[in-house]
Amino acid sequence: MTTILYDDNMPYAREYFSTLGDAKAFIAGNINPQDLANCEALLVRSTTQVDAKLLANSPKLKFVATATAGFNHLATDELERRNIQWYAAGGCNANAVAEYVIAALFHLGNRDEFDPRSKSVAVVGVGNVGKALCRLLRALDIEVVTYDPPRAKRDPSFHSASFEQVLGADIISLHTPLVKSNGGENAYPTEHMFDKNVLSRLQPNQILINASRGEVVDNTALLTLLSSSRQAPTFVLDCWENEPEIERALIPHLALCTAHIAGHSLEGKANGTHMVYERLCAHLNRPATLKLEDFLPPFELPASTLKTLESVNSHDSIQTIVSQCIGSMYDIENDDSFFRRYMAKSTSFAEIRRQYPVRREWYALKVSIQQQKAATVLRDLGFTIANDRP
């Protein structure tokens, strides 16, 4: 029987992995080399550093997987040196991150009285998340600028804008992996892509959103800019340098700030578990018989939110209708307010992530919309239109 250790913060992990062997949970941050003495499969999230130190006593370990899209916490060179197969659930939370960005734009639009659909958005990094965001932006008929030179290099059908075009967009949304420079051999490093010089070129009317990796933006340079200028651009940070030991002095200067939870929808996290399950089945040469739909609970809005949605009528603008539907699913202002209050009293950034409440993705909501143009937009955004014919 395969011995499996899994992060207890992986939704439905016990239900999935107990079908494949002797599966036991560990608490993130509370695992040590001795725990791996008999482990054959280690399943983690981004809070566990799988490095040479952790692997020092793992003679039976043959498979390591992370139920997250990013895998900077995996020492892949060390895993390969030890002939341990590894896997990352790329794209598992792409929809959740894309929905977070759109929610941020509509919140800022309501606050600052602009229609997000009148803006141009540069998507920096067009992988799984970037592609998901582009789909939502185009559903809203928003002008999209796509920037991804590495993808253009390997995919002749993809055209990357210039970096100058990125800096000319009204809104810049970052979705790159963290790629460090290796002495000039790497042509496209992303660490501090937005450094002091680039940040100083942004205009006061621009918005920058980082929901990728904290190190893509030089947080020290950003703090200097925001502390010294009254006419700085608008910044939204979900990802931070040096997590969980973030630069808390940045918080008062940001329009929106959250604890690296953009991808933390129930569907996104559960999909990560499911993808790891499928890959582990393949590794063990076992059939993958379980489906994600077997576990996701039915979705019901609170009565107060339903009442608000019922007030949407055919005379409202598309911006109003879309904004209310998005707000009914995810109150980004509530996340921002909680983050500010909690971080003012505590340095436990990781605890906010660990205790993050359930958030559902848009398709879980069935909404009745009589205005056909608005219904088309919502359908393209991924909402379920209750009055659609089967």
Tokens 């799984």 identify what position? 128
State the SS3 of the chain: CEEEEEECCCCCHHHHHCCCEEEEEECCCCCCHHHHCCCCEEEECCCCCECCCHHHHCCCCCEEEECCCCCCCECHHHHHHCCCEEEECCCCCHHHHHHHHHHHHHHHHHHHCCCHHHCEEEEECCCHHHHHHHHHHHHCCCEEEEECHHHHHHCCCCCCCCHHHHHCCCEEEECCCCCCCCCCCCCCCCCCCECHHHHHCCCCCCEEEECCCHHHECHHHHHHHHHHCCCCCEEEECCCCCCCCCCHHHHHHCCEECCCCCCCCHHHHHHHHHHHHHHHHHHHCCCCCCCHHHCCCCCCCCHHHHHHHHCCCCCCCHHHHHHHHHHHHCCHHHHHHHHHHHHHHCCCHHHHHHCCCCCCCHHHCEECCCCHHHHHHHHHHCCEECCCCC
Percent of the chain with pLDDT over 90: 79
Domain 2-88+265-294 and domain 303-385, same fold? Reply is no
Give the burial class of 311: count Cβ atoms within 10 A of its Cβ; 0-12 exposed, 13-18 middle, 19 or more buried: exposed
What's the CA angle centered on 270, arms 7 and 301, to 5 degrees?
125
- Confidence band for 10, pLDDT divided at 50, 70 and 90: very high
**pLDDT top residue among 230 and 243:** 243
What's the CA angle centered on 248, arms 125 and 201, to 5 degrees?
45
Q: What is the pLDDT of residue 70?
A: 87
Candidates 381, 250, 387; CA nearest to 324 is 381
Q: What is the pLDDT of residue 306?
A: 57
CA 100 to each of CA 85, 136, 387: distance values in angstroms, whole numbers, following the listed order: 32, 11, 26
Q: Report whether 130 contacts 175 (CB < 8 A).
A: yes
Mean pLDDT within 75-101: 97
Catalytic residue among 45, 151, 192, 213: 213
Class level of CATH domain 2-88+265-294: alpha beta
Catalytic residue among 117, 260, 353, 360: 260
Q: What is the pLDDT of residue 382?
A: 94
Q: Is 135 labeled as catalytic in the residue annotation?
A: no
Residues 6 or more apart whose Cβ sits within 8 Å of residue 18: none
Topology adopted by domain 94-257? Rossmann fold (3.40.50)
Q: What residues does each domain of the chain span?
A: 2-88+265-294, 94-257, 303-385
Q: Is the pTM of this model over 0.75?
A: yes
What CA–CA distance (Å, rounded) separates 321 from 317? 6
pLDDT tens digits for range 340-366: 999 988 778 988 988 899 899 999 988
pLDDT tens digits for range 257-315: 999 999 999 999 999 999 999 999 999 999 999 999 999 998 877 665 655 565 566 56
pLDDT tens digits for range 35-58: 999 999 999 998 899 999 999 999
Mean pLDDT within 98-118: 96
303-385: CATH homologous superfamily? Erythronate-4-phosphate dehydrogenase, dimerisation domain (3.30.1370.170)
Q: What is the pLDDT of residue 29?
A: 77
pLDDT tens digits for range 21-37: 999 999 987 899 999 99
Per the prediction, the chain carries an average pLDDT of 92
Query: For residue 119, is pLDDT > 60?
Result: yes
Q: What is the pLDDT of residue 312?
A: 61
Neighbours of 23 (CB within 10 A): 20
What distance lies between CA 68 and its chain's CA centroid?
A: 9
Q: Is 213 labeled as catalytic in the residue annotation?
A: yes
Q: Which of 209-213, 222-226, 229-233, 384-388 has the lowest mean pLDDT?
A: 384-388
Torsion of the alpha carbons at 35, 41, 46 and 51, rounded to the nearest 10: 60
Query: For residue 318, is pLDDT > 90?
Result: no
Mean pLDDT within 190-201: 97
Catalytic residue among 191, 243, 247, 333: 243
Residues 6 or more apart whose Cβ sits within 8 Å of residue 152: 158, 159, 160
